[in-house]
Amino acid sequence: MLRVGVIMGGVSSEYEVSLKTGREMLKALDPAKYTGIPVHITSRKELLEGATGLDFALLALHGAYGEDGTVQGTLETLGIPYSGSGVLASSLCMDKGLAKTIIRSKSIPTPDWLCWDSMDDYAPEAVERLGYPVMVKPNSGGSSIGMTKVRGPEGLRAAVDKAFASADGGAVLIEQYIPGQEITCSILGGELLPVIGIQSLGADWFDYEAKYEQGGAEEQIIRLPDAVQEQVRTAALTCYRALKCAVYARVDMLLKDGIPYVLEVNTLPGMTATSLLPQSAAAAGMDFSSLLDEIITGSLRERGGLKGAFGEGARTDVDAGVKPQGQVKDAQQAGYSNHTHHAHHVPQAPQAQPVESGGVRL
């Protein structure tokens, strides 16, 4: 039986979110296959201590020293296989500005942006050229912490100060605001899961309260027109591959006039039973426990763990019980058929149709 350490907590501003993700993962692990071990860390040293004796690390971390490749590199040094993407993908996706540069190099639309390393870079005239409104946020962070929608120049400095205060010493991103339908695209084993549409309730964008308070947002599996669905699928998988992601990820987009604009790629998205990726998996016929099975098995294969840790050609209970990728495909078939750039002008999106309601995102 695998000793699976659920690594949670961390040192970032998303500490509390990580704890909730970790607790939910522990509850969902199949006790017939895994011995779940909580590994609660608040410092780098505690990871070294808590990882001792683990067969596998299931990462419930968010933000700095979690999603940025640092923990992944430490675990590789210790020889412990871990869940999700590797060091390179984690570090690339954590840097929103760099990730957007790579995304745009693949001809995938993403909102125009500026990236400032400090207040020495503060340039209101550059934001004027970008065009208001804009979204101001830490370049390396999540959960909408430190993020502000700025409608005019009078609110810019306060928003930038707020973002820097939440950026853990990192840069700040000023991004063109594009009105449209927010969607999120979960990828598991290289396959796109059902797409979720998000509508904030009581807010005009998906802020922290909308994400984490009960009733803050409506989240629904949606069926897009075929042509739009294909564009969304192409954009999501292109980003996933270009950024070297593995096992699973979530690509957040805005859909305007039938065109998907990629906002960011999350290598360690929220993973409670009501989080967005598990909702997508549920719509494809996979419960939360089975989803964790899929992630653990896919990650062991990605890390070489099924051969390295258990012997050449060995089959574990996990290997025998889950069929990576094939299960996803079968379930899908059963369930539903640092520069300023000129703003893009694109040709109203066909209305996406709700299929079923989801829960509240974490």
CA-CA distance, 215 to 209, in Å (whole number)? 9
- The helix or strand, by DSSP H or E, that contains position 253, with its residue range, turns out to be strand 248-256
pLDDT digits (tens, 9 = 90+) for 329-360: 444 443 343 333 333 333 333 344 433 333 32
Arithmetic mean of pLDDT, 306-328:
39
DSSP β-ladder status, 134-138 and 172-176: antiparallel
> At 45, is the pLDDT very low, low, confident or very high (cuts 50, 70, 90)?
confident
Arithmetic mean of pLDDT, 301-327:
47
Residue 98: both structure tokens together:
């760099």
Arithmetic mean of pLDDT, 263-283:
92
Residue length of the chain: 362
> At 55, is the pLDDT very low, low, confident or very high (cuts 50, 70, 90)?
very high
pLDDT for 252 equals 96
DSSP for 21-83?
Answer: HHHHHHHHS-TTTEEEEEEEESSHHHHHHHTTT-SEEEE---STTTTSSHHHHHHHHHT--BS
Residue 224: both structure tokens together:
């897009």
Q: Is the pLDDT of residue 285 over 80?
A: yes
| Greater pLDDT, 328 or 310 | 328
The answer to whether residue 252 is catalytic is yes
Residue from 50, 69, 197, 250 carrying the catalytic annotation: 250
The answer to whether residue 264 is catalytic is yes
CA-CA distance, 141 to 139, in Å (whole number)? 6
pLDDT for 216 equals 55
300 vs 225, 310, 315, CA distance in Å?
A: 36, 10, 11
Residue from 264, 293, 294, 302 carrying the catalytic annotation: 264
Q: Is 79 left (phi over 0), alpha (psi -120 to 50) or beta?
A: left
- Which amino acid, 147? M
Residue from 12, 13, 140, 143 carrying the catalytic annotation: 143
Q: What is the mean pLDDT of the chain?
A: 82
pLDDT digits (tens, 9 = 90+) for 12-23: 777 888 999 999
pLDDT digits (tens, 9 = 90+) for 124-151: 999 999 999 999 999 986 555 789 999 9
pLDDT for 202 equals 59
**Three-class SS of residue 308?**
helix
**Residue 354 CB coordination number (10 Å):** 15
**Three-class SS of residue 327?**
helix
32 vs 28, 35, 247, CA distance in Å?
A: 11, 8, 23
CB 75 within 8 A of CB 57: yes
Residue from 13, 18, 85, 266 carrying the catalytic annotation: 266
> At 210, is the pLDDT very low, low, confident or very high (cuts 50, 70, 90)?
very low
pLDDT digits (tens, 9 = 90+) for 211-243: 445 555 688 999 999 999 999 999 999 999 999
Its pTM stands at 0.81
pLDDT for 3 equals 97
CB 289 within 8 A of CB 28: yes
Residue from 68, 252, 294, 302 carrying the catalytic annotation: 252
The answer to whether residue 266 is catalytic is yes
pLDDT for 208 equals 44
Residue from 34, 65, 82, 212 carrying the catalytic annotation: 212
Residue from 14, 55, 67, 302 carrying the catalytic annotation: 14
Cross-strand pairs, 57 = 5, 82
pLDDT for 352 equals 42
Is the Cα torsion angle 27, 30, 31, 34 positive or negative in sign? negative
Arithmetic mean of pLDDT, 168-189:
92
DSSP for 187-229?
Answer: EETTEEPPPEEEEESSSSS--HHHHHSTTSEEEEEEE--HHHH
CB 145 within 8 A of CB 138: yes
Residue from 10, 146, 270, 305 carrying the catalytic annotation: 270
CA-CA distance, 255 to 179, in Å (whole number)? 8
**Three-class SS of residue 232?**
helix
Q: Is the pLDDT of residue 303 over 50?
A: yes
